[in-house]
Structures are given as structure tokens and as C-alpha cells.
Structure 1
Amino acid sequence: MLETMSAISGSFNTELINSIQEGKKFRIVGDNINFNIGVTNERKSTGKAGHMEHWFGSAAIVQNVSFNDCSDTIPQCNLEQLPAEQFIMHDNDWKVITSDMCILVSRVLTDFFPWLNFAKSAVSNEIQGGTPLKMKLKNTVIPLQIQHKNEQKYADVVDILDTYQDLGETLYQGSGLQVPQIHIGGDQLTRERFSGAKRLRAAALTASERFENLSPITFELFHVQMTVLATFFDILYKADCTEPFTLYSQKVRLLRKHAEGKDVKNHYDSCRDLAVSFIRAYIVEATCQYFDLKNTDTAPENLPDHKNMTNNEIKHWMTTFVQPLV
């Protein structure tokens, strides 16, 4: 087993070295891994009936896009002179957002209204934006060792950064290259811990001990979806509100007992599924009311002759059809 583990771990380093030799850079991200240990899983008495373990997991993400043309020291513009209009939504921005929302609503309607089946393929294509092709490609993610360290302790965080520094030196020196700046990060708490641990080593004797190669330290958007979902439940989830079609009443009606809206963090999957079902149901109900339809099988008048239409024409008709709902 140990030989197998060594062989597998070595393959990860090889994959990173190959990426470096191809001229690609990588960044390292990490976060705590928390799990409960019950009595039946304990090998010896710890003085507690059960306890929570805090380990630390990391991964190297190989970047598909290079920003070598951007300076590391000079900003692209003077932020003090940046006009406020750059941050304000313009009419064209709202048109793009509205168009994208029409596509998303159309996808829901084609799932529930049989007479819209002809439009399913037309609105299922990827929503096109201004994102470069390279940024749409999936990044190679290489898992690193899980460490029995807790980011809540600065001594452990220093040890974690030591492994990152050693990894960078091993990889780049193994490729015959000088160790560059290595981008690291995590969620906002991890970023703060990394920055604090680096400050603790600021007076060390060598560049490696000062973690000079570990820069910049940024936060990752790990928890954006959870934050959005938690905000959604904070606004709409009221346990004392049982009126029909409220979020709590739908939870009871659909028997989603694990969708605990007051603790989204620990019930994320169940809360997400309830929110998706709730939003889709509202879209269907709003469509029936707006077009005065008795049920999803009732088709409105003046449907187009889709047999003689192209996909682009069907897509245009569909977005126009649902725009009043959006």
C-alpha cells in the first residue's frame, strides 16, 4: 500500500513539472477539512464522547491563461482617477443581463410546457459572453497532500506554507528553472491566516524561510454560491409563515425536512435543491397567470410555425415570448 501511495503521489509532481516545462504557471489553494469523529471510530480514549478533527487540504491549479504582459508592480490604471462610470451598469449591460435571464427562464419553460418542446434545443446552447476561449477551458487540478494541520493555529499555518515553499523549490529546481512568485490563496479566512503566517516569518534569515516566493496571497470565491443561497433564505425563509407558496410552506409540502433554512452552511445541498424547485415552480406559475393558461398543457394562441424556422429564429421568438415575465 505504501509503495502504491508513493507512486501515485509522485505522478502528481510529474504532472506539475510537465506543466512548468510547457511554460504554464500554477496557483495553490487550500482550506480546512473539518469532520466529526464518533465514539465508534475512535481508536483510543480522548476524554470526549466525540470530537471534531481539523485537517488541511490543498490543490494546485494549472493556469490556462498567462498574464505575463501585466506588470507585477505597476497597476493598469490609477484607481484614484478611475471614473465612477466604470462601476455603473449601462443600458447595454442591462440588455445583456435581461437577454441571459430570458434564456434561463426559457429553459425552465421548455421542461414543463409540452407545446414548447420545439424550442428546447434552441435555448440549450451555452450563453455566449465576452470571455476568451482559453478561460472557458477546464483547468487541470492536481490534489496535494492532506496535512494534519489546523488553519486556526498560526503554528500550523506556518508549517503549511513551509510545504508550499518546499514544493515550489522542488518543482522548479527539478525543471532547471529559478523559483518564481507562486500565487496562493483560499477563502477569506485562509487568506488572512496565510498573510499573518508570512508576517511572522518576515525577520527570518533566508528567502525560503521568509516565504518570499509565496506571493500574491488572494482569496478564492469558494463560498459565493453558499453566500447567495444563504441570503436567499435570509430574505424568504420564515418558519412562522405558512401561507401557501411561501418558501417554508413549500418545504413542508414537499417534505424537504433536511432543508434547514436557518443553517444553510450545514445543509447546503438540501437547501439548494429546495430553492431550485421553488424558483422553477414560481416561473411556471407566473407563466400560467400571465398568459391565462389553465395548466401546463394549455397552449396560448398565435404559436409560430416552428417547422419553417431556424434555431436562431426560434431562440429570438422564445426570448421575446418570455421577456414580459423577466
Structure 2
Amino acid sequence: MLHSSNFDFRISPDPQTIDCLRNGHFGSIDLEPGLSHTVGPAGDAGSIDKTDINDTVIPENAGKVSSGVKRPTTDDHSYMNQKGQNASASNSNDHEYSCHLYTEEEEEDDEDVNFLCHDRMKDLLKMLNLKSNTDYDYASMLRMCSQTDLSEQDIFMGIIQEMKTRCPHLLETLVSVCVKDETKVNLRQITSVAVAYSCLMFARNNKNSGIQRCITMLAVKGDANDEFIRRLNRMSLSLSCSGKLRILDKAVIASHNMLVEAIRTNPLMKITGDNLDMYIRTNHQRTDNSNQDIHWFASNAFFTRLNYQNLPENTPEVRLKDIDAEMFVLNESETLKLNDVQKVLIGRLLCDRDEYQWLKNKLPQHIPHRYKIQSKYREKNEITPVLNGMGNTDVLDKYGVVLGGDMLTRERLQNAKNITYLAPTPKGRFEHLSPVTCELWHVKQDLLSKAYKALFKSDSLGECGTLFHMKTALRRNDVNGNVKSNYKAHEELFLLIVKALIHIASDEIKDCREQNRDIVLSSVFSKIYGLGYSTDDYVYNYFTNLLTWGMQIVNMNDTAKEGDMERLIMNMKENAAFFYSHSAMSKYFSECINTILQVDHLSSPHMKMRQLEGAFINTKGGNGKNKEADLVQEHAIRNQKDLIRGLGANKTENGSRRASSSADIIHRIGDNIDHLLNIPKLTTSHAKKTSSKDLEIAINILNKVQPFNYVKGRQFESFKTIAKNPKLVVQKKDLVHAIQKKIQRLFLNS
């Protein structure tokens, strides 16, 4: 029988019990009155050595490891109260047990853990000649560096500099250990010296925790669980689990302070926002502890790079009848400019062919525009978890805040302003939060979605060269027509086919060797758009239609990279025609018209430039490094969700808020460490090779169709009457009339 006295379990050599343990027959074993215990493959009894079962004794507290929660001794399945009752069954408030966050000293002095290492510690002390000294009791930078310093400064250089000043003999010793050949010294060796010094200083005084805070942050970013962090802490490589919570709280404060300081120095700010949706499941559901479906609003603040001091801030007084709908359609000069841009983009797609490599030297690396110099500067952005508690907001009231997001976000914010329209104060009417604009990446996403709806049909699987056929031939299983489910995969396939078609069209250019850029690009441009050909070859029409959609996506990508504010409005006019031709009820048709209306007609010159500049964010610095503001917002939300997932099961709302609010500073620390250690971004090693192979396959398939050889009456069964140009499905007068109706509604809501 299994006897118990003060929870000290001893196993007597009972034949029946031994047989059960040896043969794996586990079940309920009777204990003393008032106690019951279940053993099994995952329980304590299941881990007993069967070869020495008769002499096995489980010592008191031997299996107890502190987790920061004060509880009686437990097994792997449940814990018992002092009366011997199963607490999970007898105590309905077990989730309300108070949790005590240990300090670093308390966790290190945990008797339960030290009990296991007591004998080893004695042996180690005998081997060492210990002497107390105060040589290293100085104010180390490891103690004084803040979260902001860790995200911006070179902590490794600072450590080496401190060692050179404070303890040069230790620096010399550590360098001599890690450097074998003084002529071959690398960054890893110097970093090892800094980390070794940090571990020693942390072991001496756990306040010297600069590197440990970095490693803890990186562990949190990498979804490390508490067990892993606890092991690192025992090796002086990271903070404890309770220390992790404290630095996350400090990271939230640091993010808040950075935002406040940024607003003080530059009050011209734009905020982008999007939904942060989560579904949190709990392991033990109660009436007051059930699953949660959370919908939060995450936002980022971006600060201007341009100087607006000389631009007037007076809002023009515009009447509805003064707004001409014709101004929302591309005029002749704008059309010519976009055609020239597309010719350059076509040339870039041809440069990787051997016979067109000469084009590289004859094409601009960056398409010039008026604000090319300003757009290359790195832009400062901050996460804005909560705007409450920021102190005096008079600066924001004076300069206003531009708001941006996807269509749903814009509608919600605009409707919130409409509801408070009759409030007695400007602040109550949210007048400082204006204008509210729709962002470009979501427009591009919906544009690609419309292209797939028009050209991607499962019925066309057997029709060689169609989008669905190419998806199957190239084994792109992640392309299913739902662009929002996987935007990158859908865009890559679409642009791969665009590139293949342009390569095929260039094969028929006979004078490519003459190296006349304008003649070659004009010839390819005419070929892919079917200029001079009739519209009764519907196979030709299909591929021309696909190229029209695809080149607009390429154009929008380049506009975003260059931060080209001049091209932005032209793209919006072009997109409006695409959306309306696809559906007169298109929601993003309204968003395109609203953007043009806000920028060109209802805003002051000062606010117009703030809207245009705020559409693009340069987080790295340099020409061609800009991104859409809402795409940066999507990346920020992804970082926040990654940290929230790392919390594991039974997430709390406070824990989720802590993780999401500290995501920005954690991400910055990670990027800074990657930069200091020269760690490249993770990429697929064979991405270029795979793309080249897929391009070759696509060209071979499309050559069978001969897409640019005009044959009257050709057609695909799934696309019998497809138009050559998707924008010309509707007449211009119908488009202008629809724009006029949208202007009337949007003007009244503005």
C-alpha cells in the first residue's frame, strides 16, 4: 500500500503495487483517509525507476520547483490543499490564488532549488580560493543604461570602453582567452568578451543587467517560455521571470516617453490605425473566466520630414458647384507621364535578359520627382498605445493630426466625428483630428483582388496560359483567389506572369541591338497593350487586360518605394477608373475619389503636403526605401500579435496590453542588436533561383499560346468577350457622372 504522512510519500514493497508499476497498469491508488491520488504515465509514480522499486523513497519537497506562485506541494496533475482535498475540485476560486512576484534575490535563494545543488556547491567551494574584494563595486553602465539606450546605442562598444577604463587587466585576460591569433580577430570574439564581463558583473550585482535585459527582450520576442528564461537566469544570461515582467512594464513606459518627447520636438504628426483582433482561450472556463474575443485599435504615430513653415494654413472656401468631376480623371499630360513611367518600369523588367542588359545604363535607377531628396530621410515612428496621460495636448490642438487607415477605419473615424458634430467645443467635435484618409496599401490590395476576380476562374484550368492554369502549372497552392488571405503569394504570381509576357513581347523586337532605348521601349509598350490591333482576338485581349492590371500594381509599388507624392494622385485617378469599371458599387472607388477630394480641393497647402508625405514612411533611410504607411502599421500589428501569442495559454487582458504596448521597444532592441552583430535579415536562400526557374516555365507555357500574335476570333471559353482594356468597359461620361455623385455625398460628410 502507499502510505502518506505530511505529504512525504513512501512506497512499501507491496507486490500488487509493484506489479502495476512494472507492467504499466496505472489507476487510482488508495491513500490514507481523506486523501486520493492519481498516478499515470505523466504522474510522479510513473517516473520511478522500476529496477529499484523496493528501496525508492521520494524525499520531501524533492519535486517542487518554484514558479512564483505560493502553493502547497503538488504532483503534475493537480495540487492539494492542506486538508488533503483536491483544490481544483473543492475550491471554485482556485484561479484567484494570489501570485507573488519574486525578486531576483528571492529566486536565487529558493531553498527548493538549492537543495538539489547543495552537495555540488560544497565540492565547488573546495576547488576555489575565494577572496572578497571591492574592486568592481563601481557604477557600471550596465546598471544605468535605459531601455531607450539599448534600442539606439552600441552597448557592446560601451562595455569594452568601460572595461578599458575600469578594469584593463580583466579586459586583457578575457581577450587573451578568446583571441587565438591577433591577426584574425572578428566581431564575435569582441562581443564574447563584452557578454562574459556582463555575466560576471550581473552575478556580482543583479542590478548590472544591461545585457541580461537585452537577452530577456530577445527571448520574449522569440516566444521563449518561462522555463527557458529561468534556465538562462541561472546561468546569469537573462533576468528572472518576474524580472521579465518588470522590464516589459518599463518598456511600456519607455515607449510612452519616447512618443511624448517626439511630439515636443515635432508636433506635425500623422496617426495610422488598424484593428488588432484576438481570440483568447482559457484552459479552465468559469462563469467569470471564459474565452474572450478581443477587438482593439492599434495605432502608430509618424512625424514629418518636410518643412512646412512657408506654406499657408488657410483652408480654402470651396463650394460644391466649383468642383468639376473632370478633374478626377486623368488629363492628357498626366496620361503621357504615366505612360513614360510605365516604359521605364517595362525596361527594368527586361534588364535581366542578356540581349537587353544594355538598358541598365540607360534607365534611371530612381524615377525623379520633386521631393526625391526629402523622401530618402529616415522617418521617426512611434507606437501610440494610449494617448491618455500625455499631459498638455495644446500642441496637437494647434497643429492638428492627420488620421489614416483602411476603408473600415476611415469610415469609423469619420462617423465618430459626424456623431459629435453638434458638440459645443472644437475638442468635443474632434476638429483637431482631421482629415481622415484612406491609405495606399489597402487600395493596392483591393485592386489586386479585383484583378483576380476578373481573371482568375477555376473553369479556365484547361485553357493554357490563363491565370488559374499558370497557378496550377507552377504549383502555387497558396494562391486561391482570396487575395486578403495571402497578399504576397497572389502578387508574386501575378507579377511573374506580367514579366513573362513582357519577355515574350520583347522577342519580336528586331532592332533591340541598336540600343535605342526609346524605340525599344515604345515598341514593347505598343505590343503589350495591343495598340493598332483590333479587339476581336479575345486571347490577345485577355493577356492585354492582365498586363494592364499588372503594370498598375508595378507602378503603385514603385510609387511607394520612391515616396513619389506627385504620382500618388495620378495613381488614385487611374485606380478610380479600374474600380468603377469592375463594379459601380466598389467601395474603394469612393475611397479614391475621397482622397483626391481631400488633397486637391478641401485642404490648405500646408495640410495637403502633410497628407501626401504621410502616405509614405521611410523606416530605414535611403532612396527607394519608402513603404506605405498602412503597411508599416500592419507590420507593427504583426509584431504585437507575435508577442501576445508568446504569452501562452490563459492570457490575461493586462498581460496582452503589456505585450502589445512594449512590442515597439522590443522590436527596436532586436533590430539594434542585429545591426551591431551584423546579422542579416532572414531570407529564402534560393529565392532568386526558384523565381528564374518559374519564369522560364511560365515563358514556355505562354509561348504555346502565342499571346501577341493577332488571330481574329480566338477566345478562351471562360473569357469569351473580355475587353482589351479593363478601364474602357465603361464610357468616360458614365465615369464622370458617377464621380459627380460621389463628390456630392463625400462633400457633405467632410
CA–CA separation in structure 2 for the residues paired with 1:199 and 1:58: 21
CA deviation string 1:23-77 (max 9, x = no partner): 441121211123556xxx6434489xx98643321111112235563435434x5
The answer (yes or no) to whether the contact 1:119–1:318 under 8 Å persists in 2 is no
TM-aligned CA deviation for residue 238 of structure 1: 1.0
Match of 1:12 among 240, 255, 273: 255
Q: Is the 8 A contact 1:29 1:60 kept in 2?
A: yes
Distance in 1 (alpha carbons) for counterparts of 2:282 and 2:499: 45
CA distance in 2, matches of 1:195, 1:84: 23
Question: Larger Rg: 1 or 2?
Answer: 2
Indicate the residue corresponding to 1:189 in structure 2: 408
* Structure having the larger proportion of residues in helix: 2
| 2:301–2:382 Cα contact (<8 Å) kept | yes
Aligned to 2:366: 126
Aligned in 2, Cα 1:74/1:66: closer, same or farther, shift over 3 Å? farther
Give the whole-Å Cα distance in 2 for the aligned partners of 1:279 and 1:51: 44
**SS state of the match for residue 189, structure 1?**
helix
User: Which position in structure 2 is the counterpart of 1:248?
Assistant: 468
Deviations 1:115-171 (A, max 9, x none): 2223224336011234464355453221222xxxxxxxxxxxxxxxxx44x26x526
**Is 1:324 equivalent to 2:526 in the alignment?**
yes
SS of 2:480's partner is: coil
Residues paired across the two proteins, number: 280
Deviation of 1:82 (Å): 4.6
Q: Secondary structure at the match of 1:43?
A: coil
Q: State the Cα deviation string for residues 218-275 of structure 1 (Å, max 9, x = none).
A: 33334111111111101110110121100000000000111011x2211222211111
Q: Which amino acid letter does the alignment assign opposite residue 114 of structure 1? A: D
Residue 106 of structure 1 contacts residue 322 of structure 1 at CA under 8 Å; is this kept in 2?
no
Does the CA-based 8 Å contact 1:26-1:60 persist in structure 2? yes
**How far is the alpha carbon of 1:88 from its aligned partner?**
4.2
Give the one of 139, 150, 169 matched to 2:379: 139
Map 1:168-317 onto structure 2 (within 5 A). Answer: 169-170=390-391, 172=393, 177=395, 179-180=397-398, 181-198=400-417, 211=430, 213-242=432-461, 243-261=463-481, 263-288=482-507, 290-291=508-509, 300=510, 303-304=513-514, 315-316=517-518
2: distance between equivalents of 1:182 and 1:213?
6
Q: Percent identity?
A: 24
Counterpart residue number, 1:151 = none
**Structure 1: distance between partners of 2:513 and 2:373:** 36
Match of 1:116 in 2: 356
TM-aligned CA distance change 1:65 to 1:302, over 3 Å: closer
Q: Quickly say closer, same or farther: Cα 1:66–1:24, change in 2 above 3 A.
A: farther
Cα separation, partners in 2 of 1:210 and 1:34, compared to 1, 3 Å: same
Q: Which residue does the alignment assign to 2:333?
A: 92
Q: Is the 8 A contact 2:259 2:383 kept in 1?
A: no
The separation in 1 between residues aligned to 2:420 and 2:524, in whole angstroms, is: 58
Q: How far, CA to CA, are the matches of 1:24 and 1:316 in structure 2?
A: 46
1:16 deviation in Å? Answer: 3.4
Q: What amino acid does structure 2 have at the position aligned with 1:271?
A: H
Secondary structure in structure 1 of the residue aligned to 2:351: helix
Is residue 74 from structure 1 mapped to residue 316 from structure 2 by the alignment?
yes
Asked whether the 8 Å contact 2:478–2:489 carries over to 1, the reply is: yes
Tell me, what secondary structure is at the counterpart of 1:126? coil
Q: What SS is found at the alignment partner of 1:93?
A: helix
Does the 8 Å CA contact 2:259/2:384 hold for their aligned counterparts? no
1:193 is displaced (CA, Å) by: 1.9
> Which residue identity lines up with residue 254 of structure 1 in the other structure?
L
Corresponding position of 2:302: 61
The alignment's TM-score, normalised by the length of structure 2, stands at: 0.33
Between 233-242 and 24-33, report the one with greater CA deviation. Answer: 24-33
CA contact (8 A) 1:226 1:264 kept: yes
Partners in 2 of 1:317 and 1:301 — Cα distance? 8
In structure 2, runs of 5+ residues without a counterpart are: 1-243, 529-750
TM-score w.r.t. length of structure 1 = 0.70
Tell whether the 8 Å contact from 1:20 to 1:172 is kept in structure 2 after alignment: no
Instruction: Tell whether the 8 Å contact from 1:24 to 1:64 is kept in structure 2 after alignment.
Output: no
User: Corresponding residue for 2:175?
Assistant: none
How much does 1:106 deviate?
A: 1.1
What's the counterpart of residue 146 of structure 2? Answer: none
Amino acid at match of 1:12: S
